Amino acid sequence: MPGGKERAIKRRIKSVNNTRQITRAMKMVSAAKLSRAEGQTRLSAPYFDTLNRLMADLAPHLSEYPHPLSTVPEPTGRSLLILLTAEKGLCGAFNANLIRAARSYIHQQKEQGREVDLITVGRKGWLFFRRRKVEIVRHYPWFSKQATYREVKPIADLARELFFSGRYERVDLIYAHFINVVKNIPTQRQLLPITEESVRPFAEADGGGLKGEVLFEPSGPEMIGTLLPRYYEAVLFRAIQETYTSEHGARMVAMDNATQAAEDMIKTLTLWFNKARQEGITNEILDIVGGAEALRKMGGGA
């Protein structure tokens, strides 16, 4: 019969093996979701990149054709931050990095004399800042699958209405910029007002705007009035799309690492179990030999 030490090791091996099965299953689920999300993200990239370049070219002319989305409001001493995090954990440092970026943003804004209110999308960010008594204007649960424009629009509408109301002098966004499966970067982006300074860092422009006299067809106000709302909503939609993809990439990597760690632990525990069993067998043999030797001596003495 196995000894107490061997039984404890066997229970531990069984427990770790159960954990490995769970992490392996979670990895497979995240890999499937990541494959779909990454495909949609990459397919939509040309549209958003072209839109960014177009806005970078038009941004220097925004002052000629004022629009509510591009008008810098009077200072109010308040900023609004839209923070995107995941609904669940088990995705490594994904949520922690986004929350750290938000805390850094809040600190910077306070140094500039502004208080920060939040719109949180995703439970992890909401839970963190709720406990720290930061003003949360509205909380939205994260999307169960790839978000659609219809699902993103209420968030964009709320932030736009709050900006137009004059309560906030700027609206910013923190999201996970998707690089590849194993890498994403917490990124801050100014959503409102839309200015040349807020657009150009995210555009892949080569020359820095249109050259010479610019002729608008249709008219400048009509073109700006059509493009700016679409650009504003597209930036938010793209950020949510990239964050969703980054989350599943981070979770797949985290579960793969956890599965590998469980397998390594099982190997180590199996080695310990074999050693413990060998020690038990050796001790039993020694007991038998010792008993036989004692009987021989007793028989010899008789």
% residues pLDDT > 70 (the chain): 93
Residue 290 lies in a domain: no
pLDDT class for 279, splitting at 50, 70, 90?
confident
Between CA 125 and CA 95 the distance in angstroms is: 8
Residue 42 lies in a domain: yes
- β strands within the chain, DSSP E: 78-84, 115-121, 136-140, 170-180, 183-192
Work out the burial of residue 151: count CB atoms within 10 Å of its CB; fewer than 13 is exposed, 13-18 middle, 19 or more buried: middle
pLDDT tens digits, 67-109:
899 888 889 999 999 999 999 988 999 999 999 999 999 999 9
Residue 196 lies in a domain: yes
**Range with the lowest mean pLDDT among 33-37, 222-226, 279-283?**
279-283
Residue 298 lies in a domain: no
Question: What integer is the mean pLDDT of 207-233?
Answer: 74
Highest mean pLDDT among 1-10, 14-23, 60-69: 14-23
- Structural domain of 136: 30-254
- Does the pLDDT value for residue 206 go beyond 80? no
The predicted model scores a pTM of 0.84
**Range with the lowest mean pLDDT among 120-134, 225-239, 278-292?**
278-292
Residue 132 lies in a domain: yes
pLDDT of residue 293: 73
Residue 268 lies in a domain: no
Q: Give the number of domains in the chain.
A: 1
Average pLDDT, the chain: 87
Residue 266 lies in a domain: no
Residue 216 lies in a domain: yes
The CATH number assigned to the domain holding 155 equals 3.40.1380.10
> If you ran DSSP here, which 8-state letter would residue 174 be given?
E
